[in-house]
Amino acid sequence: MRIYIRISFLLLSLTGFSQLKTLADIRVRDPFIYTDSISKTYYLYAQTGNRLLDNDTIKGVEVYKSTNLKDWSGPDTVFSAPSDHWGKRMVWAPEMHYYKGKYFLFVTFTGDEMALKPKEQPEQYRRGTQILVADKPTGPFKAFTNKPTTPKEWMSLDGTLWVENHVPYMVFCHEWAQIGDGTMELIQLKDDLSGTVGVPRTLFKATEAKWVRSLSTTGFKYHGYVTDGCFLYKTKTGKLLMIWSSFGDKGYGLGQLISESGSIKGPWKQIDKMIFEEGGGHGMIFKTFEGKSMLCLHQPNKGDKERTQIYELIDSGDYLDILK
């Protein structure tokens, strides 16, 4: 009996260990890591379709957990789109933020309605960012309403949260597929993040960055200038930076710009120095429990090969660079 108990315990231990994964094992496009100081846990959010190789029969968001950024458990479902959800065609780019005692998931969904577009652009289904809410970082997350938070008629994606002078804002992308030259937009949110206040304000266009190239010159069929994956960061000297992605001479990359006023409202000035030039992007920045600033992005940018990559950042006070 004692031998049987020991063997059973060993098998259970091995089973638990075998469930741990490294980042090399987990396909994630548009990764987002949340550092929870309460539980001393890192949460990695991903759309369910990543794991299922874009099998869209299951629409949702899931999370992996780690205490050391190396070994990850999960995934566990944090959101499953209900049968009547407006955006069940595609689920993209989930990111999670803590605000005023609640946890908010910003997710880009694609619905079944066709989007308005220029004649020269491909047919597209309308998409937008929707904000979901939960009491815990592990969910379950629920929608405030059954519609996008971004403007209904727009092709929008990759919304992120920024709070300035106690006022919440969302920065998001107005997509190239609808307007040709993609833009970064700002809109104020209600205090509980349940909706928006006013109308969007354009912060910059993709072509304002010298390094950005048209999709048609980088191996794609259509002409257009991409804005993707925005994220805000305050430097050690208090400067406000934004990182974002587009396509340059070496493919998908990660650029940066600085607010000349120090405010989210700008004006924004592009920084010539890119953070990441070749085959990786849609970045975000988090701090480790030791206080190090880390860049998280996916690389490469193709097929089922996307993986979360983490790099320590050098904060110069005026711009960011990867620690070599």
Is 226 a member of any domain? yes
**Residue 198 to residue 213: CA distance in whole angstroms:** 32
Residue 219 has what pLDDT? 86
Amino acid in position 152: K
What CATH number should be reported for the domain holding residue 36?
2.115.10.20
Paired tokens of 209: 């960055």
Residue 7 has what pLDDT? 38
For the chain, the C-alpha Rg in angstroms (whole number) is: 20
Is 3 a member of any domain? no
Is 255 a member of any domain? yes
Q: Are 141 and 78 in contact (CB under 8 A)?
A: yes
Q: Which residues of 225-264 are buried (b: 16+ CB within 10 A; e: fewer)?
A: bbbbbbbbbebeeebbbbbbbbbbeebbbbbbbbbeeeeb
The residue range of the domain holding 54 is 26-322
Is 188 a member of any domain? yes
Q: Is 298 helix (H, G, I), strand (E, B) or coil?
A: strand
Closest CA to 132 of 166, 164, 163, 108: 108
Amino acid in position 186: L
Amino acid in position 108: T
Is 5 a member of any domain? no
Is 280 a member of any domain? yes
Closest CA to 136 of 101, 92, 160: 101
> What mean pLDDT value characterizes the chain?
92
Query: Looking at residues 51-65, what average pLDDT do you find?
Result: 83
**Residue 12 to residue 9: CA distance in whole angstroms:** 5
Q: Are 62 and 75 in contact (CB under 8 A)?
A: yes
- Model confidence pLDDT, tens digit, residues 159-216: 999 999 999 999 999 999 999 999 999 999 999 999 999 999 999 999 999 999 999 9
Residue 55 has what pLDDT? 65
Is 210 a member of any domain? yes
Number of independent structural domains in the chain: 1
Is 238 a member of any domain? yes
Q: Are 145 and 90 in contact (CB under 8 A)?
A: no
Give the pairing type, strands 228-234 and 196-205.
unpaired
- Model confidence pLDDT, tens digit, residues 217-272: 988 888 999 999 999 999 999 999 999 999 999 999 999 999 999 999 999 999 99
Q: Which residues of 151-181 are buried (b: 16+ CB within 10 A; e: fewer)?
A: beebbbbbbbbbeeeeebbbbbbbbbbbbbb
Residue 114 has what pLDDT? 85
Calculate what percentage of the chain has a pLDDT beyond 90.
Answer: 83
